[in-house]
Amino acid sequence: MSGGEQKPERYYVGVDVGTGSVRAALVDQGGVLLAFADQPIKKWEPQFNHHEQSSEDIWAACCVVTKKVVQGIDLNQIRGLGFDATCSLVVLDKQFHPLPVNQEGDSHRNVIMWLDHRAVSQVNRINETKHSVLQYVGGVMSVEMQAPKLLWLKENLREICWDKAGHFFDLPDFLSWKATGVTARSLCSLVCKWTYSAEKGWDDSFWKMIGLEDFVADNYSKIGNQVLPPGASLGNGLTPEAARDLGLLPGIAVAASLIDAHAGGLGVIGADVRGHGLICEGQPVTSRLAVICGTSSCHMGISKDPIFVPGVWGPYFSAMVPGFWLNEGGQSVTGKLIDHMVQGHAAFPELQVKATARCQSIYAYLNSHLDLIKKAQPVGFLTVDLHVWPDFHGNRSPLADLTLKGMVTGLKLSQDLDDLAILYLATVQAIALGTRFIIEAMEAAGHSISTLFLCGGLSKNPLFVQMHADITGMPVGLSQEVESVLVGAAVLGACASGDFASVQWGK
């Protein structure tokens, strides 16, 4: 943190690209967030399970929020810049221009989003190979990873996309390239979503077996043949063009990136818990599970030695914390599922009116409404006859079954605000039960978890946090700094600047 007699006059910028918005923060040497800005980004769903974005739109939003957070700051004091983003797939041609990822041929829409499930046939064929790389993704590859999406592009958009493509980037790597002109990829993205091995590199036999031998033939130049650890400094830092776009000075250090969930995990899993009475005080960091919960949820546990958990991604070496193996469980929709259930209910318009009249968010209003109707019993007992199975977008972990669907049992004919509040509660409980299911799978394989650390948008919802504590039977730690993902991104910039030797300074 800040050292010696010098006051913290060095600053770092973290940029976080989520599913629906870009956020930026200015952070000081002590890890304190000094300024924050956000900007929505566009999403397209041209057909069911096809989700697309625009890399140009995303970069423009990055520029807007970065300029906002550095207003009034001496730019010479900004030492580093770090990016994190969703693990969406960005497609560019050989001159780095966008290529269409859609049948309409709209090149502006050149990003296949992380939650896109178009490549079902492709991922089923990949899994049928039983190739050895699959043991590092829980035994079954997810449709949300990049290999099936790449195969879909080759098989469905050969002429307008595949044959013209020069570069396939994970979105975090696209952002660092855009800032520096350096095409090096982050170890985090390639290991977690592209089957790269930190120890062995690419496996030629896998790409040949699934029909993407093209990458082997050109020495993986299109998907990355220079790989750097998260936080490593890229090239000569910020290019003059990118500096103008972002409102920063050329040459500022830019870090190799992280996936957004991994930035959140980095931001919380090493938290100093002394004096808070948590069971994990004095226990190794491997006893902690970071749960990054927003549109979806990711469950990040680390270990000294590799642990293979059926249905849970990993183990990935040094993908989040240097020197540790990472297992990543997940739920494909959590915040998105809660929105879906609440907004689709007949009483939603009434909820909007009442929440607005009380100057509350709809979820703050629902939480207070549940307190009103629970009477003397604990709030959890309101759902004794109502149950939700939350796999409306398939099950990522630990069943690893994208064909699963959601279900609600115990519905009545009434559709008033009480019913909506109870359905909302049942949905939150279902998500928490899914977390417990993941923890049980991880512990059965060899993890020993005692404490949850939550961050992300849903961690700001007291009911969501309480249900996770009640249902898992574990204490939940919340960071004093609620924007842990952004702090994680800024940590990368601090590491790239040379002010700190390792991303682990944030611990």
Which pLDDT band, with edges at 50, 70 and 90, does 391 fall under?
Answer: very high
3-state helix, strand, coil in the chain (%, to 5): 35, 20, 40
pLDDT at position 504: 57
- Token pair, residue 188, equals 């985090």
Residue 6 has pLDDT above 60, yes or no: no
pLDDT at position 280: 80
345: left (phi over 0), alpha (psi -120 to 50) or beta: beta
Residue ranges per structural domain of the chain: 11-259+486-497, 273-478
Which pLDDT band, with edges at 50, 70 and 90, does 270 fall under?
Answer: confident
pLDDT at position 336: 97
Q: How confident is the model over 48-73, as a mean pLDDT?
A: 97
pLDDT at position 480: 79
| Same fold: 11-259+486-497 with 273-478 | yes
Report the sign of the C-alpha dihedral through residues 183, 187, 188, 191, in that order: positive
Residue with the bigger pLDDT between 188 and 31: it is: 188
Tell me which amino acid residue 8 is.
P
- Nearest alpha-carbon partner for 316 in 145, 483, 485: 145
Ranges 269-283, 354-368, 399-413: which has the least confidence: 269-283
* Cα 99 to the center of its chain, rounded Å: 24
Strand, coil or helix: 311:
coil
User: Measuring CA to CA, how many Å separate 355 from each of 121, 343, 347, 364, 461?
Assistant: 44, 13, 12, 8, 15
Give domain 273-478's CATH architecture: 2-Layer Sandwich (3.30)
pLDDT at position 278: 78
pLDDT at position 279: 80
485: left (phi over 0), alpha (psi -120 to 50) or beta: alpha
Q: What is the pTM of this model?
A: 0.92
In which order are the strands placed within the sheet that holds 476-478?
313-317, 325-331, 297-303, 288-293, 451-455, 476-478
The pLDDT tens digits of the residues spanning 189-201 come to 999 999 999 999 9
**Burial environment of residue 108 by CB neighbours within 10 A (0 to 12, 13 to 18, 19 or more):** middle
Instruction: Let me know: does 492 contact 25? Beta carbons within 8 Å.
Output: no
pLDDT at position 501: 75
CATH code of the domain made up of 11-259+486-497 = 3.30.420.40
- pLDDT mean across residues, the chain: 95
pLDDT at position 506: 44
- Nearest alpha-carbon partner for 114 in 279, 302, 330: 330
pLDDT at position 4: 46
Dihedral (Cα; 350, 355, 356, 360), 10-degree rounding: -170
